[in-house]
Amino acid sequence: MPRNNIDKHNKLMLRFQSGDETAYRSLLGSYKNRVYGLMQRYFQNQSLAEQATRDVFLRVYAAKDSFQPESSFSLWLFTIVNQVCRNYPQDDTIEIKSMKKAQGREEQQILRQALSRFSREERIAFLLDHCEKLTIPEISDVLNKNPLAVETVLCRARANLRIKLAAYLETTVNS
């Protein structure tokens, strides 16, 4: 995200901390779709994603005074997203509508299956990296882990995905 948007969102959060409810609504408008999209890919269930997204923004509202202006609003927000993902009950129902990189229905199903087999930590790290384009240090801040541990988690997630996709490609080529 460009630096001027980071500054803009930090300023909105500071205004919200001072009691400006319109600043909160602006932040909600700026991040609602991104958070929902991440939740949709994480939970693979529309109703859980909607509920978790609401919970994230309720926590933002309740925790507004804990925001430190020296940090990035988006990293603070994704830390809350991570906490919600870790504490939410998992549901085995899979309802992803689409995955950006998947071309066809079968490929979408393969990606859904692979993501569903990730640990919670692998899934959130992978989604923050792949979908939100956060850097390793940013993901490290969100997950409250050192960067080397985040790299290990991402490496494990990519390896698991590679194995799943290789098996799919092998059966596709041989059929």
Task: Render pLDDT for 103-157 as a digit per residue (tens, 0 to 9).
Answer: 566 666 777 778 888 888 898 999 899 888 899 999 999 999 999 999 989 988 8
User: Sorting pLDDT into bands at 50, 70 and 90, what band is 102?
Assistant: very low
134 or 5, higher pLDDT: 134
Domain that holds residue 91: 1-96
Residues 100, 96: Cα–Cα separation, whole Å: 11
Are 6 and 70 in a shared domain?
Answer: yes
What is the total count of domains within the chain? 2
- Which residues, in sequence order, are CB contacts of 170 under 8 Å at separation 6+? none
CB contact at 8 A, 146 and 140: yes
Domain end point (choices 59, 78, 96): 96
Task: Render pLDDT for 60-92 as a digit per residue (tens, 0 to 9).
Answer: 999 999 999 888 999 999 999 998 988 876 543
- Sign of the torsion formed by the C-alpha atoms of 111, 36, 92 and 47: negative
Domain end point (choices 35, 62, 96): 96
Instruction: Give me the CATH number covering residue 90.
Output: 1.10.1740.10
